[in-house]
Amino acid sequence: MFLEQVNESLWSLVFLPLFACCGLLLLPSFRLPALRISRGKDRNDAPGMRPWQAVSTALAATVGTGNIVGTAQAVAMGGPGAVFWLWCAAFLGCAVKYAEIYQGQRHGGAVGYIRAALGKIPAKCYAVLTAVSALFVGNMAQMNAAVRALCGGAGERAVLLRLLLGLLLVGLLAVPIRGGAKAVGSSCEHLVPLMSALYLLVLGYALFRFRGRLPAVFGQILREAFHPRAALGAAGGLALRQTLLWGLRRGAFSNEAGLGSAANIHAEVRSDHPERHAFWGVFEVFADSFVLCTATALVLLASGVRIPFGTLPGSELLRDALAGIYGHGASYCFLSAALGLFGFSTVLGVYVCARRCVLWLGGERAERMYSRVFLACALLGCLLPLGLVWQLADTVNLLLSIPNLTALILLSASTSRAFRAASGRKQGKATSDA
């Protein structure tokens, strides 16, 4: 309870003002017609990742249990109106993530631009916190949700089963992790598009079946974004502040705009035109929040499943929502597979993000030691209580956002100039460059 109260206070008093300030500073420079993906002239023969590998790895770090469990928790804790604020966070997140990738390309990751804007000590604190959070949040939270979903109702009791599943997943993780960032990128560029397409196919058919209810669902989202008390009735309803904060919190956990993870991953790409390469950040936020999270939320709300407001549900909420279409057995198998794949890919993406910080702190020897500890924590994550992991995730995300967003605000002028330059170039010769 104490950690939950601290999180709620700090997210409203610290994260929200910083995130809004950063996004609003950058949005005036954005030109919507310019928001088109251009591959530019990235040096694909250079060491490190290719552009699409970096995009897939960044999506792997964001497309995970946050899209299933995180979205369900946003709706349960903030009501249907939280979906609207998740969209608002994603809209601002497009500008923030563009800035992260652009500055990360210029300075060698989030640590580089934080050092340029704030100095060595804040950069070192950010690097240490990123490395630690990757162990205890991005890694363990994903493994926890994935293994518990695979175990089903026996998840709380079958410790041996969870341990065996954890050993299997850790063995699969070890192969690309030992190969470094490029091996992880190669795995993600095949895995992420496949699992995302399958997830959207299953949810898309469910939405087609629920299509008659969707207008009412959109009306409910918009209405309760500003008048959320209807979710629980006049006596015990949700406050607007709670609805707004849970939409923002789970939006940030899902697309990770404002945390600097995309900057660390895209720094693995050697690009001749960072101002154009950074447009991939807009695509990542759109795919994660506006497509995957929205599809999840619409299925939950349109299905008519009973939502336990005021609680932190897991994957069982979406499983029950899909059961009316596919049956309990099929929906259970689908979500088990989805959470397993999402958790696996997210852990890979988180490792690449943390790897750059560890290399900056201690070099290759430290990175080799860190990879072993990372795999051990993945196994440990299979056995921890779910609620504790999600509370720690909120706390660490908040701490990561403070130096990252502060640095982006200080560097916002150069980011805005880069975006205007890229927009002008794209409008003039986008066809020849694409």
Radius of gyration of the chain (CA): 20
CA nearest neighbour of 192 among 66, 287, 59, 285: 59
73: its two tokens: 């928790």
Q: What is the C-alpha to C-alpha distance for residues 191 and 343, in angstroms, rounded to an integer? A: 12
Amino acid at 97: K
Q: What is the C-alpha to C-alpha distance for residues 195 and 348, in angstroms, rounded to an integer? A: 14
Q: Is 56 exposed, middle or buried (0-12, 13-18, 19+ CB in 10 A)?
A: buried
* Domains of the chain in sequence order: 2-30+50-427 (1.20.1740.10)
Q: Is 110 exposed, middle or buried (0-12, 13-18, 19+ CB in 10 A)?
A: buried
CA nearest neighbour of 406 among 88, 10, 21, 111: 21
Ranges assigned E (strand) in 103-190: none
Q: What is the C-alpha to C-alpha distance for residues 345 and 177, in angstroms, rounded to an integer? A: 11
Q: How far is CA 230 from CA 76, 84, 227, in A?
A: 13, 15, 7
Q: What is the C-alpha to C-alpha distance for residues 128 and 262, in angstroms, rounded to an integer? A: 17
Q: What is the C-alpha to C-alpha distance for residues 154 and 64, in angstroms, rounded to an integer? A: 22
The pTM assigned to this predicted structure is 0.83
Name the 3-class secondary structure at 79.
coil
> Residue-wise pLDDT tens for the chain (434 aa)?
566 677 777 777 888 888 888 888 887 776 554 445 544 444 444 456 777 888 888 887 777 666 777 788 888 888 888 888 888 888 888 889 999 999 998 898 899 999 999 999 999 999 998 888 888 777 887 777 777 767 765 555 577 777 788 888 888 888 888 877 778 877 788 888 888 888 899 999 999 999 999 999 999 888 888 876 555 543 344 566 667 777 777 776 677 788 888 888 888 887 778 888 888 888 888 888 889 889 999 999 998 888 887 777 777 888 888 988 888 888 888 888 887 787 778 888 888 888 888 988 888 888 889 988 988 888 887 776 655 666 676 677 788 889 999 999 999 988 888 887 776 654 444 333 33
Cβ contact 93:23 at 8 Å: yes
